[in-house]
Every structure is written in C-alpha cells, then in structure tokens.
C-alpha cells in the first residue's frame, strides 16, 4: 500500500485506524471472514463472497450510522491487518458493542488487537459521547477474553449454552466498560 493512500482517521503507537468499508478491499475482508480459523472465533457461519461486502458498501445509507468499521493498519509494515468496529450503536442509551478481527495470523498475540480496541474505545467515549462500551465472545475465544481484560473491561453477563459451536452448546460472555472507568484506564493504555 502506498503511503499517500493511507487515510489515517485515528493514530496509535503501532497501528492506525483507517476508515473501513473500502470498496477496493472487499477481497481482503472476504479472505479474512471466510478463513476457517478466523471465522471460527468471529462466528461467521455462512460463506460471504466479496460481492456481498460490495453491495453493503454501495447501498444508500441515511442518518447517523448504527455501525461503524475501521481498518487496522500496521504502521511499521504498512499493511492492513484486520478490522475493528462498533456494531449496534445505541445512540439514545449511549452504548455500543465492539467487533474485531485480526485477519493476518502473523499479527495475532502481539497486543495489536488490544491497541486497536483501546483506540476505538477512546474514540467512542471522547468523540461519540458513549456512556458504556461492551463486547461479547464465546467461552473458547480466550484471546478476545484476554483483550477485554487488558482493556479493563468487566465480565457483566454469562449466557449459559448460548452458542452452538463445533457440535456443542457453549457459554457466551459479555464484557463492558463505563466512561468513568475508561478515564482511569486510558492513562495506562494510551
């Protein structure tokens, strides 16, 4: 990727967040979401061809968005390595859920996900005026759980046998952090 094409929206130490839903990168998104290992943790159970992303991006949208996506850009390697975003933004209750995928396996377990999530949480509280931000994962997704804990999130809900994964029912967790908790936590993370 050429430097001049990088449209940094939020700048971090190792990663930047760029606007997501880029028509030119639909093959990249499709590659990640359809990969057997990656989709297992993200719980994408249906195949998604690149055209599906294209259609979603091209659709006319009105009003304040209820979801938002960013590409995670590795500054050192000048490479897009995954995406992070808010899904289900609730503007009246001022809360939102985070979804994230580090699509390139060699960038996993390097705290880059924690950094990207910290950037978007900070954005959610400081710029979008959120009150509470959460994320969910099923019990076998220990990597996401660790990220949530590093971000200072608390486990708020355990849904017993909520998800059917690999032929059995497993528990799902929801984590969350409030604005006032984040004000403290951001000092050590950012």
Q: Measured between alpha carbons, how far is 138 from 131 in angstroms, rounded to an integer? A: 24
Binding range to other proteins, per CB under 8 A, among 64-72, 116-124, 131-139, 163-171: 163-171
Q: Which of 15, 17, 30, 135 touches other proteins (CB under 8 A)?
A: 30
C-alpha angle 3/29/19, rounded to 5°?
45
Total residues in contact with other proteins, by rule CB under 8 A: 28
Query: Which residues have CB under 8 Å from 168's CB, separation 6+?
Result: none
Q: Measured between alpha carbons, how far is 133 from 102 in angstroms, rounded to an integer? A: 20
164 belongs to the binding site for other proteins (CB under 8 A)? yes
Nearer to other proteins, 61 or 164 (CB): 164
51 belongs to the binding site for other proteins (CB under 8 A)? yes
The DSSP bridge pattern shows strands 95-102 and 132-138 to be parallel
106 belongs to the binding site for other proteins (CB under 8 A)? no
Summarize as ranges the residues that interact with other proteins (CB under 8 A).
Answer: 1-2, 5, 24-25, 27-28, 30-31, 34-36, 39, 45-52, 54-56, 164-167
């Amino acid at each position: 990727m050429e430097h001049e094409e990088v449209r940094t929206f939020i700048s971090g130490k190792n990663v930047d967040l760029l606007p997501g839903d880029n028509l030119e990168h639909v093959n990249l998104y499709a590659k990640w979401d359809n990969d057997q290992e990656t989709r297992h943790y993200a719980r994408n159970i249906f195949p998604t061809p690149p055209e599906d992303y294209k259609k979603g991006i091209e659709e006319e949208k009105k009003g304040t968005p209820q979801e938002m996506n960013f590409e995670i850009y590795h500054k050192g390697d000048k490479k897009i390595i995954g995406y992070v975003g808010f899904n289900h933004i609730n503007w009246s209750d001022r809360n939102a859920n985070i979804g994230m995928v580090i699509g390139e396996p060699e960038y996993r377990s390097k705290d880059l996900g924690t950094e990207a999530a910290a950037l978007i949480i900070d954005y959610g509280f400081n710029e979008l005026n959120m009150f509470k931000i959460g994320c969910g994962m099923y019990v076998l997704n220990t990597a996401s759980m660790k990220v949530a804990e590093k971000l200072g999130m608390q486990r708020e809900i355990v849904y017993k046998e909520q998800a059917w994964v690999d032929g059995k029912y497993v528990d799902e967790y929801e984590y969350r952090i409030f604005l006032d908790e984040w004000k403290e936590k951001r000092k050590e993370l950012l």
